[in-house]
Amino acid sequence: MRFWQRSHQAFTAGGAIGLLGGLIGLGGAEFRLPILVGVFLFPTLQAVIINKLMSLVVVASAIPLRSASIPWAQVIDHWPVILNILAGSLVGAWMGAHYATRLKVEWLNRIIMVLLVTLALGMLFGHATLVSATAELPFTLTRILLGVVSGVGIGLVAALLGVAGGELIIPTLVLLFGIDIKLAGSLSLCISLPTMLVAFARYSQSGAFEVIRQERQFLIWMTLGSLVGTAFGGQLLGIVPASGLILALGIILLISAFKVFRH
């Protein structure tokens, strides 16, 4: 009974978070991490590893599933922007994964708590700015350098939290490059996928990676739930307005951060 209860919980949590990921363009890890730690009682570093794997599943499946609302041609037209952010995020992801495996659990908890709260406040109070996207301007050296620096920061946060980084990538794309917020969600997924693969490869060199083998059944059920949820989220993209949803998720994230990581 305990096995099936845990499997059902993993499937349900994966589905709910996958729905959010497919709808907004996030890996959903910022919502998954408090559940892995607070509900399933995984140690922080193991939760980060599992989080990273599940984020990979959501991001990889959301990219094609969102194509009905955001055509591939629109995404491909913005390949210079994708490469610009990736130039920094790949470096940041490797650095973040390197330091995460060497930090004491107490410090890792504190860093993750601060980052979660920061992300929540950004979603709550930065949303009005995001929807008022700036007009696209030609590439300049300043914008390219800002894109690389932003990418490094995004990669660091993504690796430390085990997140896809979309909550940082999307604002960067909107504010720095003037891209529509729904299109920014799809571009964010294209940037998140290789960034997470780099961090995941770095984590695989540590002993913490063993949790994937130990929790194989749990991961299978959460993966199945994530795929189902992402499929529904992709279908809802053209129907549900992102503004109110992002605001609600910011509140949930803030409550989860304080509840789970307050110690």
Q: What is the pLDDT along the chain (263 residues), one digit of tens a residue?
A: 476 788 888 999 889 888 877 877 777 777 788 888 888 888 877 887 788 888 888 888 888 888 877 888 888 888 888 888 888 888 877 777 666 666 666 666 676 677 667 766 766 676 555 445 444 455 677 777 888 888 887 777 776 665 667 777 877 787 778 777 778 888 988 888 887 777 667 666 666 567 777 888 898 999 999 999 988 888 877 777 766 666 766 676 676 667 556 55
Q: Which pLDDT belongs to residue 133?
A: 42
Of the candidates 230, 152, 239, the residue with the CA atom closest to the CA atom of residue 191: 152
Mapped onto helix, strand or coil, the DSSP state of residue 29 is helix
Is 52:114 a contact under the CB 8 Å cutoff? no
- CA–CA distance, 234 with 222 (Å, rounded to integer): 18
Please report the beta strands in 94-191, taking only residues with DSSP state E, as ranges in sequence order.
Answer: none
DSSP state at residue 134: P
Residues 242-256 as b/e (b if ≥16 CB within 10 A, e otherwise) read beeebeebbeebbeb
Q: Which pLDDT belongs to residue 102?
A: 67
List phi, psi (to 5°) of 94.
-65, -45
Q: Which pLDDT belongs to residue 143?
A: 77
- CA–CA distance, 75 with 240 (Å, rounded to integer): 21
**Residue 42 to residues 30, 155, 209, 231: CA-CA distances in angstroms?**
15, 23, 13, 27
- CA–CA distance, 167 with 71 (Å, rounded to integer): 22
Q: Which pLDDT belongs to residue 3?
A: 65
How many CB atoms sit inside 10 A of residue 197's CB?
16
Give Rg (Cα) of the chain. 17
Of the candidates 225, 179, 29, the residue with the CA atom closest to the CA atom of residue 112: 29
